[in-house]
Structure 1
């Protein structure tokens, strides 16, 4: 076997390895994109639900203007967010404002008994569960992509091919733990 044949075989093997690494990174990036799409759909549904909820509450608790304005402002901030970190912060702010809105129902028995309010509250709770599931799937996809980018030998080629690590969609400190109840 002559040396040029051995060199050719090594070049082919290295080339195949590079193609396999590239294809794996592309597949993982696409999984992240698809997972983010799932999160985005759920967040948009949540954003669409909030105005209906505010209008329902407004009819019963119109003098709770500050709470209603906080919810509206938090929703708009979330809709306008342009980065993953900004969106995560805005969504956490929206969650806190919604908790305050639902706390109002305790002070307004007619609102608490309103079928439309109860339906919207149930729908929002369902959306929150879907968002949490989509967030977990997205963060798992990001973890897999980030790990693949940082592992050898992909780390050698990842930046050359334009791959970079992604940020997680993390729950903020205001979302952790049970809500505090004060009397």
Structure 2
């Protein structure tokens, strides 16, 4: 083989290797830029939520000023978010805010007047919308990270990444327990988990996939008045259709008069409904009183997503109620 042919072959080989290197490198850079761009979307939504916190804290303080520890924690993580300069610091502060806001919303559950105030309802609607957008953007970010990290492990990308100093990206996953919020909750101090819970039931446990709340609106009444409960449910836009069933067992001799519920035997009343992704439902529940005393309303919420029964959540709670004699007319 002549020298010219050898040189030509070497040149072709170098050009081929160089072409593969630059093509692969450019692909990795594009994937990295995609991850970074999606992170900015996540950051924007967390910033939107951080901007809501001062008004949220001030509103809750107006009804629960003694909950200083919770307010301090929320404010601390918001400050950490604002001061964070790296992505890792932002993630840590965001996870701290997740937990702190969850605790703040637990406090809110004990103050029906606060929950009914126009200012809080407006803030709650904005917060719920932001939380849904955060969930969507985090999911998209993690998908970008997965694609990028997978590309880094492939040949020849792994060699190019090693020579170029490109590193895997971290997933944005909540720490274990960071999202623990007792969303299934009767809205009264003293409401307790039922001692007779089925093996699959978990009292006061997390509902990370949806917001389902069953709480008392009017639980201290005169005989003849109605006890009033409320069921609120929201299905996240990222989830399949949600099927939910609510079962109520009122005190003996009392009846659920709400049209949504039907008698299902043994003093139980139930209703079943479906929620499309991103939709919500509110049901007002009336229980007719016929006798005085202190009683317990038993409630159970069961739901699952799509047709997958393995996603089933089962929550059982007790709600104390008081029925008093009518005050004499003076």
TM-score (normalised: structure 2)? 0.51
1:137 is displaced (CA, Å) by: 1.3
Counterpart check, 1:101 vs 2:104: yes
Counterpart check, 1:15 vs 2:2: no
Contact 1:89/1:172 (8 A) holds in 2: no
Mapped to 2, the partners of 1:21 and 1:33 lie a distance apart of 18
Which structure's CA Rg is the greater one?
Answer: 2
The number of residues matched between the two structures is 183
Match of 1:130 in 2: 133
1:79 is displaced (CA, Å) by: 2.7
Written as runs of structure 1 = structure 2, the 5 A alignment for 1:16-35 is 16-35=19-38
TM-score (normalised: structure 1)? 0.89
Question: As a proportion of its length, which structure holds more strand?
Answer: 2
Is the deviation greater in 11-20 or in 89-98?
A: 89-98
Contact 1:84/1:169 (8 A) holds in 2: no
Contact 2:103/2:181 (8 A) holds in 1: no
Counterpart check, 1:141 vs 2:144: yes
SS in structure 1 at match of 2:62: helix
Q: Which has the higher contact order (CA 8 A, sep 6+)?
A: 1
Match of 2:41 in 1: 38
Is the deviation greater in 48-57 or in 140-149?
A: 140-149
Which of structure 1's runs of 4+ aligned residues deviate more than 4 A?
A: none
1:178 is displaced (CA, Å) by: 6.1
Written as runs of structure 1 = structure 2, the 5 A alignment for 1:29-68 is 29-68=32-71
Mapped to 2, the partners of 1:3 and 1:27 lie a distance apart of 36
Structure 2 stretches lacking a partner, 5+ long: 186-190, 193-330
SS in structure 2 at match of 1:174: coil
Match of 1:114 in 2: 117
Q: 1:75 aligns with which of 49, 74, 78?
A: 78
Contact 1:36/1:138 (8 A) holds in 2: yes
Contact 1:71/1:94 (8 A) holds in 2: yes
Contact 1:85/1:169 (8 A) holds in 2: no
Question: As a proportion of its length, which structure holds more helix?
Answer: 1
Structure 1 stretches lacking a partner, 5+ long: none
SS in structure 2 at match of 1:12: helix
